[in-house]
């Protein structure tokens, strides 16, 4: 009986928490204009940086899957633990502090199409599976959005509209694969100031 009461309380708590998350987002009337202006400015900034950098000073992007990123983080954590144990066995040392930085950022994808009945996001971060990341209609007609946690680095993606039409993001730099399929590219930099 007690388990049923606890389960019922847990369900009520989960429902209270979930209700605000299910509510449609209400965007400011100038949201789309501000978003487009900011996206255009970022694309222009990226092109300027790429155009003026020399071969020696140009930033390089290393691609790794989220699983590889987690494995790297686990390896670094294990290395830090082993070094801490080694130092602890030796002569007394001053205490040290290790700072770990987040490697995942929450990215909001927004798509606008007044004729869309459904929109989903596909990309290298979800195995290009159209059913894994559906976008949700916002309070503004024809505007869809979803937030996705992504690791820093280069990500390719596209939108699937009405379950069949493949659309690259018009506000993001594009990429064409060996079959001529166009997708968009997102370069996600680290938030670290160091």
- Tell me how many degrees the CA angle 21-23-26 measures, rounded to the nearest 5: 115
Q: Encode the chain in three state secondary structure.
A: CHHHHHHHHHHHHHHHHHHHHHCCCCCCCCHHHHHHHHHHHHHHHHHHHHHHCCCCCCCCCCCCCHHHHHHHHHHHHHHHHHHHHHHHHCCCCCCCCCCCCCCEEEEEEEEECCCCCCEEEEECCCCCCCCCCECEECCCCCEEEEEEEEECEEEEEEEEECCCEEECCCCCCEEECCCCCEEEEEEECCCCCC
Q: Which distant-in-sequence residues (6+ apart) come within 8 Å of 112 by Cβ? A: 32, 142, 143, 144
pTM of the model: 0.47
Please give the structure tokens belonging to residue 162: 């009405």
Predicted local confidence at residue 194, as pLDDT: 47
Domains by residue range for the chain, with CATH = 2-52 (no CATH), 61-100 (no CATH), 104-188 (2.60.40.10)
Predicted local confidence at residue 105, as pLDDT: 86
The residues of the chain scoring below 50 in pLDDT are 94-100, 193-194
- Tell me how many degrees the CA angle 178-123-126 measures, rounded to the nearest 5: 130
Side-chain-side CA neighbours of residue 1 (13 Å)? 0
Please answer whether residues 147 and 108 qualify as being in contact, where contact means their C-beta atoms are separated by less than 8 angstroms. yes
Predicted local confidence at residue 55, as pLDDT: 57
């Amino acid at each position: 009986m007690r388990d049923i009461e606890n389960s019922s309380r847990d369900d009520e708590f989960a429902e209270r928490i979930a209700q605000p998350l299910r509510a449609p987002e209400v965007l400011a009337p100038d949201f789309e204009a501000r978003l487009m202006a900011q996206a255009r400015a970022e694309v222009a900034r990226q092109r300027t940086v790429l155009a003026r950098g020399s071969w020696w000073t140009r930033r390089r992007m290393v691609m790794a899957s989220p699983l590889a990123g987690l494995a790297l983080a686990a390896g670094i954590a294990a290395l830090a633990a082993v070094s801490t144990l080694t130092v602890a066995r030796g002569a007394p040392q001053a205490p040290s502090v290790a700072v770990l930085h987040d490697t995942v950022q929450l990215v909001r994808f927004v798509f606008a199409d007044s004729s869309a009945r459904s929109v989903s996001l596909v990309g290298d971060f979800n195995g290009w599976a159209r059913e894994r990341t559906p976008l949700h209609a916002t309070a503004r007609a024809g505007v869809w959005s979803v937030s996705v946690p992504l690791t820093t680095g280069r990500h390719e993606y596209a939108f699937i509209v009405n379950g069949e039409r493949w659309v690259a993001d018009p506000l993001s730099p594009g990429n064409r694969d060996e079959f001529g399929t166009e997708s968009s590219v997102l370069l996600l930099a680290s938030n670290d100031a160091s």
